[in-house]
Amino acid sequence: MREEATSAALPEVFLRKMKKLLGEEYEAFLQSYEAEKVQGLRLNTRKGEIEQLYEQNRERFGLRPVPWCRGGFYYQTDTRPGRHPLHEAGVYYIQEPSAMAVVELLDPQPGEKILDLCAAPGGKTTHIADRLMGEGLLVSNEIHPARAKILSRNVERMGIHNGIVMNEASGHLAEYLPEFFDRIVIDAPCSGEGMFRKDEQARIEWSEDNVQLCVKRQREILDNGARLLRPGGRMVYSTCTFSPEEDEEQIARFLERHPEFSLVKLPAEHRLPGLSASRTEKIDDSYFSEDAMFRIWPHRVEGEGHFLALLEKTANKKAGNKKVADRKREKKKSGKEKAGWLLLQEFLQDTFVLGESVLPEGWKDRLILFGEQLYLVPEAMPELTGLRVLRPGLHMGTLKKNRFEPAHALALAVDSNLVKRRRCLETDSAETEEYLAGKTLSAEAGQKGWMLICIGEYPLGWGKAAGGIVKNHYPKGLRI
């Protein structure tokens, strides 16, 4: 039986606040809690063109477009795409439809340096990666270690090769990389009022005291975000709460503390469809009313509650537009790393049609070794010594005694058409289930070496052929 968040299940103080905030729309807002919640997924453009992926999955999942996100779609709940093998291949990311508006509003451009400051579990990060199209630098940060690991796993699953995953406090990050980023997303931790319809725990934990705790935490993160953004850069602040204290009032206070920032008012033709211009009640002795901030209301559109504001940082008039130099990495290589080059080259020549040319030009200068683990770091990666880095780029593989073992991340990041040996399984076949469960597969006579296992044309992971079988190298922690 579906659990429903009716008005009787909602905190009384919250209901009074919403009635004051919404006025004549209050009853329609309450009725939205009786409606079936909607679910969404966003197609991964690193796996193919949106139109192609949509046609392949339209009937399978009952897809309908999300109006404010080109690659976003509602799906039929009973189709359960999160349990489908295509999910493990990173063909799409399950994401709340309203949350898809954040990166659309930020509008990242290929080649830019982008920071997702509160990134777990990875919805905005993977969306940013789509928009960067493999160019530039994506830094995804999460302060909570367990959530940072989930973030890292999703970065891997979606085949992102120009991203770094970090586990840092926002203030510490701001000390190391002041004015480094072109654009920043701050999807701030909040009281979660917008998720009450689908998250019982958010309703149980809600209190006015918790709202104030969130306000304090958000203020600190926003101030640190301001330090991290370059002059002329843009920043989106978002929450999944209705609370004006965490939304419009938070932005009003931020602008008072940071006169170098202003709200970006988008022309009507550039506003995202379905988003409502933000209005709120009295703040101190004046009314704060801006069409540069937006809300998503569940009684107006198919999506949960959300707030978004787009901010721009201008140059300080007194200091002038000071350019902050990037912190460059030290490029000197150890003997062990150079030995790793040779083992990697052997693997690339044996496994890929184009050999080592499948990697970007100058790839040797971008290889770094963490213990036995070899990574290809993004071209624009700065010096990060002293910061907690979980994933410093694309995990290429492990250096073992006189051999190279490719990483699962590499399998998910490559184009399957460039691999010499591959095994393409049917989407709903028993063999696919067996591979995801860690079982061996059969191999053709004479096949030997690393083999890419795919579902259709989409990589799932590695296997190694020898003696008529394919030994399974799907990670044990991911097996179903």
Q: Which residues contact 192 (CB under 8 A, 6 or more apart)?
A: 199, 202, 205, 206, 240, 241
Rounded Cα gap, residues 79 and 95, in angstroms: 15
Contact 328, 380 (CB under 8 A): no
Task: Give yes or no: 240 in active site.
Answer: yes
Rounded Cα gap, residues 302 and 32, in angstroms: 10
Contact 246, 239 (CB under 8 A): yes
DSSP state of 420: S
Alpha carbon separation from 148 to 142, 212, 389 (Å, rounded) = 5, 25, 10
Contact 241, 190 (CB under 8 A): yes
Q: Please identify which of the residues 190, 240, 424, 454 carries the catalytic annotation.
A: 240
Cα of 389 vs its chain's centroid, Å: 17
Rounded Cα gap, residues 13 and 11, in angstroms: 6
* 394, burial (CB in 10 Å: exposed 0-12, middle 13-18, buried 19+): buried
Nearest alpha carbon to residue 114 among 218, 226, 239, 235: 235
Rounded Cα gap, residues 25 and 20, in angstroms: 10
Q: 176 is written with which tokens?
A: 């190391």
3-state helix, strand, coil in the chain (%, to 5): 35, 25, 35
Instruction: Kindly list the catalytic residues.
Output: 240
